[in-house]
Amino acid sequence: MNGTLFIDSLEKLKPFLNDENIIEIVVRQGNKKIKTFQKIALNGFQQPEVKELASKVIKSMSKNNRLVQKNLKLTRQVANMQQLDLVLNGANLAATAVTFAILYEKLNSISAEINQQINQLHQTVKQGYDIQTGFEFNKVLADHTDMLDSRRRKQPYPEDKMRELVDREFNVLTLLIKAFQKDIAADNEALIVSIFSLLAMFTVSLRYFDELYYFNNHDVLGDQEVWHSSHGKWMSIYETLSSEWFVERLQDHGVFNTNMTTSEVDVYYTELLNQVRDLREEVEDNQALILAIGDLELLNSLRENSSRQVKETIDEAIKEALNGQESPESKKIMDEATKQVALLA
């Protein structure tokens, strides 16, 4: 084959294919010697390999197609199952919601019954606590009355018994205050009256004990602390009854448990605070008087003279009020006032 062929398509190379569909090309060097033989397969592959690969591809595609179809079917089944699950879950949720609603109503009903029983029990406990505090109050009141009766009969009341009385009154007073603080009393009004009644009794007892303790021990104590070592603890009760929380509890009681107006509540708790302040000053003033006089007989004489003057003042005030018109009721009032003055001596 002479001359040079110009190839512009693969079709023009087909006449040069050998029996194996390969084109053999001779590459010569510059001296015309053969450098190498180059075999070229059309489309980059030998024809049998191309057919084999095409066959494999077709089979693979067919297989993949079946897999795809199968997967699509499974996907649809899964989707259907998920939808069914959603339906079932919704049904379960609805059933659960209904069940919960029924249970909630039952629990709510049970809870209401339990709360009612708890409230009843709480009220019973409060009433029981009232009975306990009432018992303690009445017991210490009886002891206090015995002490006053001994003084009225001019019989000595021992220092140790007087200290025990002060201690018991302090402890019961603390018990009543704790009941008021924690709101564990059924009748707060009665509790408040008990607190301030016992505070007045406690103040009288503490004054008397200070006198006994000082005059029995001041020669031994000398310049040391002349009051009992528990005196500071006893006096702390006045601070408690003047504290912010106690005032707030009094205000709450006045506002929520009585029919008092705001102005009346202000007067109410202010008067009670004034009582606390006045009773505390009685103890402190009495201590100052004891230290100033320093003699028990002189102190008793001064007290007797003061009591006589107070009695005369009371008698004159009552007579002026009655305007000469005496009655059994007025006589009873005068006798009661006289007894109270005698107890202070």
What DSSP string runs through 109-140?
HHHHHHHHHHHHHHHHHHHHHHHHHHHHHHHH
The two three-digit tokens of residue 272, written as one number: 């009670």
Rounded to whole angstroms, how far apart are CA atoms 226 and 218? 6
pLDDT at 45: 44
Rounded to whole angstroms, how far apart are CA atoms 210 and 227? 7
The two three-digit tokens of residue 344, written as one number: 């202070």
- Give strand pairing partners of 37: 26
Q: What tens digit of pLDDT does each residue of 11-59 get?
A: 676 777 777 777 777 666 655 555 565 666 665 444 455 455 555 555 6
pLDDT at 162: 94
Range in 27-31, 155-159, 177-181, 222-226 the model is least confident about: 27-31
Given a cut of 60, is residue 147 above it in pLDDT? Answer: yes
Its pTM stands at 0.57
Angle at 18 between CA 12 and CA 19, to 5 degrees: 130
Q: What tens digit of pLDDT does each residue of 281-330 get?
A: 999 998 988 888 877 677 666 666 665 665 666 667 666 766 666 666 66
Phi, psi dihedral angles at 192 (to 5 degrees): -65, -45
pLDDT at 191: 87
Residues ≥6 apart with Cβ < 8 Å to 10: 42, 43
Between helices 296-322 and 262-293, what is the axis angle to 10°? 140
The residue among 243, 232, 237, 125 whose CA lies nearest residue 171 is 237
SS3 153: coil
- Give the residue extent of every domain in the chain: 10-44, 124-344
SS3 185: coil
